[in-house]
Structure 1
């Protein structure tokens, strides 16, 4: 009967992967958008393998002979010799036969159950404030910013311009979107985005130091900030530009928290 647990675990893991990808965007909290097909295929394969294992082990369990216990003359009970064939000849009696596996494998059931019943949130202020250096933004050929109206920028572009095109941002009101973390280095608080190459495990922060009047918004809350770049050199090894904030507006968390896009004004 214990051997049924191993294929059941595969079905549980596969079902959890399918639950967060098929008809759902929960997977975006953990992996980049382009990996969705791979996650779906992986989940389907795990479910298929688990189902095959359940059928195989279930049939084997139903074919097991009934154990016959007889009472000996001394009052003890013994099993008839023919009933010993209920165990696989390759089983060593300790659950290490071909259908068994390491007990630690059952720990995989915990994250699978978490994904099935309550999906953990995306990474937030805890990760952003404890990661080391911020993402290094390479120099790019930035287009010339026209006019003096509000200019929505992605965090990456704002940080890159603060390093390589600070004159283009001088006096300009920019609009950024991100989540809040505690301040440091003279800032009242930080505005952050997390960027990933593959999945949440390799997340790195895009960070802007915010200077604002009034209390800081709650940690992990998503806000849209309007402000101006504060003059000063930005360390290229860990670029964190400073922003003088003019207004802060609470906004809903985006469906894809790791996609760094410029905010849409008026949305």
Structure 2
């Protein structure tokens, strides 16, 4: 791979991690040190390669043109190319070893440097037909109160394994919007990842009762009541009768499924 491409890729990784949190759109928060280390190593290797190529270029032979007695010109090298000396067979190895298609890796690097793609959203959530399974957990008793903020995973888990805790309770969830299916007006979603965006799986709640569905990919905070009904444990999508919808900013880490914080 060309050294300049290594510098470009490493610089892109450092750009989204050092002094920036753009990397949270693509990988888990805990992977930041490894991404920083990878970017630094790529920049260092690329810089060393560029220095070596620069030295080799400076040692290229200077060609002298000498006119022969018959009027023709003869070209003679003034110095032996460094790579010729190392080869020992009278010819050097060409620069830029490796397939030229490797330069296509520069496209995503340039995108990260100048136009960082957004986090995954409604397209991914709608395309993946099966919602992420939620394992049973030991749920703590909920406090009495008018509103109960929950993470999406907890709400889905309780709708499967602890339905009594949701009856008659107003819950508050946060997620992004996608189009409805299966009788829902629209869906509230979160995407969770084990490592990076490539393995993202959706957590999905079917929402009913909103007069106008919010725009796709917009982040909202929804207050509603759980609608009793059977939920498939293999692809759980519980239903929520909405009471209010409030637009909220995109969270710092879009893949971290946390309970919303209510204003005091």
TM-score calculated relative to the size of structure 1: 0.90
Question: Paired residue for 2:18, among 12, 18, 22?
Answer: 22
SS in 2 for 1:252: coil
Contact 1:123–1:200 under 8 Å retained in 2? yes
Counterpart in the other structure of 2:230: 233
SS in 1 for 2:17: coil
Counterpart in the other structure of 2:156: 159
Question: Paired residue for 2:193, among 190, 193, 196?
Answer: 196
SS in 2 for 1:80: strand
Structure 1 residue runs of 5 or longer lacking an equivalent are none
CA drift of 1:96 comes to: 7.0
Q: 1:167-246 residue pairs with structure 2 within 5 A?
A: 167-246=164-243
Once superposed, what is the RMSD of the aligned Cα atoms?
2.4
TM-score calculated relative to the size of structure 2: 0.91
- Report the Cα distance in structure 2 between the residues aligned to 1:96 and 1:188, rounded to whole angstroms: 65
CA drift of 1:132 comes to: 2.9
Q: 1:93-104 residue pairs with structure 2 within 5 A?
A: 97=94, 99-104=96-101
Contact 1:223–1:249 under 8 Å retained in 2? yes
CA drift of 1:225 comes to: 0.2
Counterpart in the other structure of 1:59: 55
Counterpart in the other structure of 2:132: 135
- Report the Cα distance in structure 1 between the residues aligned to 2:251 and 2:145, rounded to whole angstroms: 27
CA drift of 1:65 comes to: 1.0
Contact 1:91–1:97 under 8 Å retained in 2? no
CA drift of 1:53 comes to: 0.6
Is residue 121 of structure 1 aligned with residue 118 of structure 2?
Answer: yes
- Report the Cα distance in structure 2 between the residues aligned to 1:236 and 1:197, rounded to whole angstroms: 20
Counterpart in the other structure of 1:42: 38
CA drift of 1:212 comes to: 2.0
For these two proteins, the number of residue pairs brought into alignment is 261
Structure 2 residue runs of 5 or longer lacking an equivalent are none
Contact 1:90–1:97 under 8 Å retained in 2? no
